[in-house]
Structure 1
Amino acid sequence: MNAEHHAAFATPGLHDRSGKRYSLDDPRWRGDDGSPLAVSALPGLRPEQIDTAERSLWRYHAVLPVPAARRVSLGEGCTPMVPVDWAGRRVHFKLEWFNPTSSFKDRGVSVMMSHLAAHGAERVLEDSSGNGGSAVAAYAAAAGIRAKIIAPAATSEAKILQSRAYGAEIELVEGARDQVSEEAIRQSERIPYASHNWHPMFLQGTKTIAYEMWEALGFTAPDNVVLVAGAGSNIIGCDLAFGELLAAGQIERRPRLFVGQPEHWATIADTFNGIDPARRGERRPTIAEGASIARPVRLPEAVEAIRRCDGAAYAVPETEIYAAVRALSARGLYAEPTSSVAAATLDHFIATGEIAPEETTVVVLTGAGLKSAEKMAAVFAGPGDDAQESSSTR
């Protein structure tokens, strides 16, 4: 890294939606206006800046606003991107269950926990429907930091067990994901809040998935990226990275982001499509538990990211999520129902013609089916395959 580029990274800061700026050393987790914080714009990466000796997301430390020497890492990132024959076309599936705790959350938590550890954190609080809590528990253990995880009582037992195994204190709360978040915010007055939904450093970690796509495709961007969204961190992370690469002249245009959410939890998709989410009536339980977030903290940012790349969003019916789990498993990909929402979204936009056969498309599978054993059992104990077929199996 030359001196000019190094100087650009010397003093990144934070800002809230009102535009007020804060130091990276400020321990706050939200702005004075109550809005989530974001890191100020960073220069994009050039191929020669990649630390090729590092086999983790820290190979991109030149675009991470955390001292690499203070990293808390378990070898996250560098996940495979496997080409698969899907509906007669070649589609790349990014297998995020190769991360240490078997989900994409490890990316953001590694960078977030590195930041917190560098600033002397001794205890942290997280609220999660499963994967985020597992990741925070693991990286807190690696950093020697005590962790408390607040989770919905209905969370998959395997995810709770994983957090307990890492030594985290667990509190289960009755109600939906929003009630869990509200309880965490109440407790954040006495325990430092390391929320993967609120903390700006989490997004800095999630953006590395897009840098990996760029590097794996010979330093070019794909035409399309297909994502499942709960709170939308992968949407915003991809927007950040591809925006940095575009500003640095490393790609010619942003990939289109195609986003799917469970039908009755589709706040981002509905808002993007000009639909009032309240029109769907009472929210129904979904097998895609990790995406059942009614009020995403960064809703405006997620919607704007989809608009910025001329993307699209889809509210996925429950039957199509079941079908996608089956279709993925039939190809050897044992993805949890939450990440299978992305495959159902792929089917939808192939059917509409918005994803063309000749385009390079990457689908992100966020977590492993092994982490949702009860939900996977429900899929394969449910109606027969004929009732659950999708366009991908035709």
Structure 2
Amino acid sequence: MTPTPPVPPLNVSLPGAQERGAAYRCPQDGTRVPVEAAAPWCCPVCRGPWDLDFSPAPVDLKSLAGRVNSLWRYAEALPLDGPPPVTLGEGRTPLVPLTDTVSAKLDFLMPTLSFKDRGAVVLAELARRLGPERVVADSSGNAGTSVAAYLARAGLPCTVYVPEATSPKKVEQIGAHGARVERVPGDREATARAARSAADAPGTFYASHVFNPYFLHGTKTYVYELWEELGGRLPDAIVVPVGNGTLLLGAALATAELYAHGLIAERPALVAVQAEAVSPLATAFRAGADWLSDEEDGAVAAADTLAEGIAIPRPPRARQILRAVRESGGTFLTATEDQLRAAQRDLAGRGLFVESTGVACWAAVSASDAFAGRSVVVPLCGAGLKTGLA
């Protein structure tokens, strides 16, 4: 397929941005490499995901009123300085009440109808600046759609690897943006292995929402938006769905930054939600473990679940996810398949048609008595049109 010509970046300024050095760093062994086109997609020593050595500047709440109406308004907190970025106007999604204490952030109203746009736009802008020969990604659907859309906006062709059982509507959406779709027999883990094998080829940028930390610095804008919308504070608990943990780890970054800069008085509890059918992290958390057991020792296997987007048996950032939840004073919750179905219909009855993965947090919170008297925000992560009614 002939790549479409690049769309010129919108005239978005990065107010207050300054040169801030960034380098990839392995959280396990400390290996560091510069962020450049030839950088390996994972740590060459342990093959684990990268973190980013990056020092954000504080965001001045009072200065935000006149800024661009997208997540790029938090320029000081983002690791990309310089020229105007590629954008589709992502971010700034509504916050609406569900009960007296629980509110929902409508991230299914993003340009590609999922919260993954927060991380994908940052990855796409990084790829545009690095100028790779090719771009590959892997996804159960939503991340692949977001990456395909933003790379199309940036004028970069890509190949997206998806499990063969991925929702046809999501596969169609990926292809509509001009990406080549590679269906992989087997589960999400098999898909990741196929993409990582392709990513090892020279000149390839792996637009991984799991291994590349720039994605996490995009998802952290979810919390920066909450902080702005709530007038410089955060709720008592931020509840997020967790498969590979990209939204949770982004939230952990944001709360740590806001607290370190004295912009919040205390950090909220981070509560992670998994489908009961595929809940390796919840199982490890309840056992007091800081990592998942080896496969031969009975690690949680993949299973059928309506929450396909978080059905990840062995998330590469498991150790970081478990630590982030514990350090925040949070916990793990799980939702059954019946609860997911009921939650999707309940939200639809309130005017919010959300995909079955995206309702997991509301399913868990509405079934729990742990939040009495506490302010809570849940994300509604993906539009119901992506999967239909369960």
1:262 deviates by 0.9
**Which of structure 1's runs of 4+ aligned residues deviate more than 4 A?**
275-282
Q: Quick one: which amino acid aligns to residue 293 of structure 1?
A: I
Distance (whole Å) between structure 2 residues aligned to residue 137 and residue 331 of structure 1: 31
Alignment check: 8 A CA contact 2:17 2:75 kept: no
Name the counterpart of 1:368. Answer: 383
1:53 deviates by 2.5
1:70 deviates by 4.3
Cα 1:23–1:203 shift into 2, 3 Å: same
Alignment check: 8 A CA contact 1:70 1:118 kept: no
Range with bigger deviation, 72-81 or 89-98 = 89-98
SS of the residue corresponding to residue 117 of structure 1 reads helix
Alignment check: 8 A CA contact 1:126 1:149 kept: yes
Name the counterpart of 1:52. Answer: 66
Number of residue-to-residue matches in the alignment: 363
Q: Which has the higher helix share?
A: 1
Distance (whole Å) between structure 2 residues aligned to residue 282 and residue 122 of structure 1: 36
**Per-residue CA distance 1:90-129 (angstroms, 9 max, x = gap):** 3210011111100000010101111111111342100000
Pair 1:344-2:358 in alignment: no
Distance (whole Å) between structure 1 residues aligned to residue 184 and residue 77 of structure 2: 37
Name the counterpart of 1:253. Answer: 266
Name the counterpart of 2:44. Answer: 32
Distance (whole Å) between structure 1 residues aligned to residue 17 and residue 165 of structure 2: 47
Pair 1:211-2:224 in alignment: yes
Name the counterpart of 1:10. Answer: 20
1:6 deviates by 6.1
SS of the residue corresponding to residue 198 of structure 1 reads coil
1:21 deviates by 2.1
Name the counterpart of 2:335. Answer: 316
Cα 1:76–1:124 shift into 2, 3 Å: same
Residues 121-140 of structure 1: pairs in structure 2 closer than 5 A: 121-140=132-151
Residues 1-394 of structure 1: pairs in structure 2 closer than 5 A: 9-17=19-27, 18-25=29-36, 27-33=39-45, 34-43=47-56, 44-48=58-62, 50=64, 52-85=66-99, 89-190=100-201, 191-274=204-287, 283-349=302-368, 351=369, 354-357=370-373, 359-373=374-388, 376=389, 379=390
Q: TM-score, normalised by structure 1?
A: 0.88
Question: Where does the alignment leave 5 or more consecutive residues of structure 2 unmatched?
Answer: 1-15
**Per-residue CA distance 1:270-314 (angstroms, 9 max, x = gap):** 222217777686532001111111111111111111011100102
Identity of aligned residues (%): 36
SS of the residue corresponding to residue 135 of structure 1 reads helix
Q: Quick one: which amino acid aligns to residue 302 of structure 1?
A: I
Q: What is the CA RMSD across the aligned residues, in angstroms?
A: 1.9
Distance (whole Å) between structure 2 residues aligned to residue 51 and residue 28 of structure 1: 39
Q: TM-score, normalised by structure 2?
A: 0.88
1:49 deviates by 5.0
Distance (whole Å) between structure 2 residues aligned to residue 322 and residue 279 of structure 1: 29
Range with bigger deviation, 57-66 or 38-47 = 38-47
Alignment check: 8 A CA contact 1:124 1:148 kept: yes
Cα 1:27–1:280 shift into 2, 3 Å: closer
Question: Where does the alignment leave 5 or more consecutive residues of structure 1 unmatched?
Answer: 380-394
Cα 1:332–1:6 shift into 2, 3 Å: closer
Distance (whole Å) between structure 2 residues aligned to residue 6 and residue 67 of structure 1: 6
Q: Quick one: which amino acid aligns to residue 236 of structure 1?
A: L
